[in-house]
Amino acid sequence: MRKLNAQAIEDIATAAPILGTGGGGDPYVGKLMALQAIEDYGPVTLIDVDEVPDNALVVPSAMMGAPTVLVEKIPNGEEPFWAFELLKNYLGKDIYATISIEAGGLNSMIPLALAARLNLPVVDADGMGRAFPELQMVTFTLHGISSTPMSISDEKGNKMLLQTITNKWSERLARTATVEMGGSSMIAIYPMLGKQLKEGAVRGTMTLAESIGKAIREAGLRNENPLDKILEITHGYLLFKGKITDVQRRTMGGFARGNAFFDGIDEYKGKKLEIEFQNENLVARVDDNVVASVPDLISVLDPDTGKPITTEMLKYGYRGIVIGIPCNEQWRTEEGLKLVGPRYFGYDIDYVPIEERYEGVASK
């Protein structure tokens, strides 16, 4: 158990889109919400998974929808609290703690803002170890934990409860509601007991994000490039250095879908890279050869600062460093790949762990 101050929140916000593979929403608005909350209510308590009592109720809080929408549709700040209170009242039981549904972008910040205001601890874990675009794509699903009852709220004050027969049905119905709400909503979902949390969560993701963000910040103070340190902390691999020559992006069905194209620079000059994304980066190809694929993490970094560039911020002319990071082992199981592997997203690709793709190649 420890307290997260403003600097810790800044560091987590800096690094969250790296673990979020460019998705999970830009953390800036969420960071402002979290910083204001700790200014008003005090620092957030971060607890380890094993500190949660087995019979205590834990509820993740998150944003749902297309990250591109938040560039123009700013939350009013009350939506996560409305959703959380609606679910709490329905369950009729006190909630012990909240947790990030995914280790990415805005969704790393929402639980911090909510926890500070409601005086709840945040669990140092999440349900993905990265970010994925659909609600059922969490390790909790692999452990038989139901996503419902869940609650949804928008900035206008619309609120609803869902009780579904499967987690996939939660995705389908909540996505439809989110589209009608303007493309983004706030949710409280996957209510679970501490015992279930200990079985299903990806542990340590808040601390991991904080350590990456701290490395980026300290490198900036020394006027150094943090790439080597980022790769060391994440056990990652350098995939490409290039300049963006085109971005094809469209918001459809509650997702931001598209492709980003890079021309190589430095040692990658003469090569081309393409990233395909659905909220998050899913597949990276160099000269038509797959160099990384979901569920491994693919992130784009600013070559000077090491800070991440989210999918909605990719623009023509930007220079970027593309890195790949091994995913949590739970996603490499047969059931995990069935849920989030490349074939689920429609790619005729066999998943190959990034370590095997780069066997014998230095990660720096």
Read off the pTM: 0.93
The whole-number pLDDT of residue 65 equals 86
The whole-number pLDDT of residue 363 equals 40
List the CATH number of the domain containing 190. Answer: 3.40.1610.10
Same domain flag for 77 and 120: yes
The answer to whether residue 217 sits within a structural domain is: no
Low-confidence ranges of the chain (pLDDT < 50): 360-364
Q: How many CA atoms lie within 13 A of 351 on its CB side?
A: 24
The answer to whether residue 292 sits within a structural domain is: yes
Same domain flag for 233 and 173: no
Same domain flag for 82 and 191: yes
The whole-number pLDDT of residue 71 equals 66
The whole-number pLDDT of residue 11 equals 97
The answer to whether residue 213 sits within a structural domain is: no
Q: Which residues constitute the domain of residue 235?
A: 226-357
DSSP H helical segments within the chain, as ranges? 6-19, 27-41, 79-91, 110-118, 139-142, 167-180, 194-200, 205-221, 227-234, 334-340, 354-357
The answer to whether residue 96 sits within a structural domain is: yes
Give the strand pairing for 184-188 and 44-47. unpaired
What residues have CB less than 8 Å from 120, skipping those under 6 apart? 95, 96, 97, 98, 114
Per residue in 197-216, pLDDT (tens digit) is 999 999 999 999 999 999 99
3-state secondary structure of 291: strand
Tell me which residue has tokens 């350098």.
Answer: 238
The answer to whether residue 69 sits within a structural domain is: yes
DSSP state of 309: -
Same domain flag for 57 and 7: yes
The answer to whether residue 362 sits within a structural domain is: no
The structural domain count of the chain equals: 2
Q: Which token pair is 51?
A: 């500190």
Rounded-to-integer distance, Cα 20 and Cα 77, Å: 22
Same domain flag for 89 and 126: yes
The whole-number pLDDT of residue 361 equals 42
User: Do the beta carbons of residue 248 and residue 259 sit within 8 Å?
Assistant: yes
3-state secondary structure of 51: helix
